[in-house]
Homo-oligomer: A and B are copies of this chain.
Amino acid sequence: MKAVCLLSGGLDSATCLAWALRHGYEPYALSFDYGQRHRVELDAAWKVADALGAAAQRVAKIDLRAFGHSALTDDIDVPKGRDEAEMGHGIPITYVPARNTIFLSFALAWAEVLEASDIIIGVNALDYSGYPDCRPEYIAAFETMANLATRTGVEGRTRVKIHTPLIDLSKADIVRLAAELGVPFGLTHSCYDPDASGRPCGACDSCLLRAKGFREAGVVDR
């Protein structure tokens, strides 16, 4: 069964792709070139899709820079060395406006063309509670909208379903699941602010959460 799987090249979305394969889906991996500073992510996405065996991959180029206003696309400094209390407070500067809504909208378009009714996204409500578009109530509302937006919904053939296999997992749970599913950790990329050669900074929120997840799961991050 065809499914569209959003794939950033990070650990979470790679785990989703592996989850899709384990659950018998034929996953179509969708990545975005949105002017992100950490473009090494896109290379990681290609490698992960290839290593795990996605049915196809597309990179959609989109123009989020036109609207700006996030440390992930602008020349704003990515915060470093924050503790969990700081990370947990408010909406982080690394938030990109409406990003998941845009990503899911493209996934919906591709799903409609493929006649797929399953979309998989690696959002996580626990570790990133600051992002409004990672919450279960948001995902449910998107799903309702999606079923009114499309031929599928109107013609009542099948219902669009947004799968969020990681939504209630801690980072350590995700690492354990990824290890169990055989995710190639070494090909994934999590850092918001890698150096020119693509090496992670080790100090941004994403690096710190990844390190903590591996530590708590008792798994070595290759």
Contact = CB atoms under 8 A, between A and B. Distances in A.
A58 B62 contact: no
A161 interface: no
A145 B148 contact: no
Given A98-B108, A135-B148, 14 more contacts: A62-B63, A97-B110, A98-B150, A99-B109, A101-B108, A101-B149, A102-B109, A105-B105, A132-B149, A132-B151, A132-B153, A137-B148, A141-B145, A142-B149
Interface of A is mostly: helix
A157 to B, nearest CB: 12
Interface of A: 58, 60-64, 66-69, 91, 95-102, 105-106, 108-110, 112-113, 132-133, 135, 137-138, 141-142, 144-146, 148-151, 153-155
23 contacts: A60-B63, A64-B109, A66-B110, A68-B113, A91-B155, A97-B110, A97-B112, A97-B150, A97-B151, A98-B108, A101-B109, A101-B145, A102-B102, A102-B105, A102-B109, A105-B105, A132-B151, A133-B148, A133-B149, A133-B150, A141-B144, A141-B148, A142-B149
A98 B149 contact: yes
A125 to B, nearest CB: 12
A222 B67 CA distance: 35
Nearest to A130: B154
Nearest to A58: B66
A46 to B, nearest CB: 15
Contacts of A62: 60-63
A145 B155 CA distance: 22
A145 B138 contact: yes
A132 B154 contact: yes
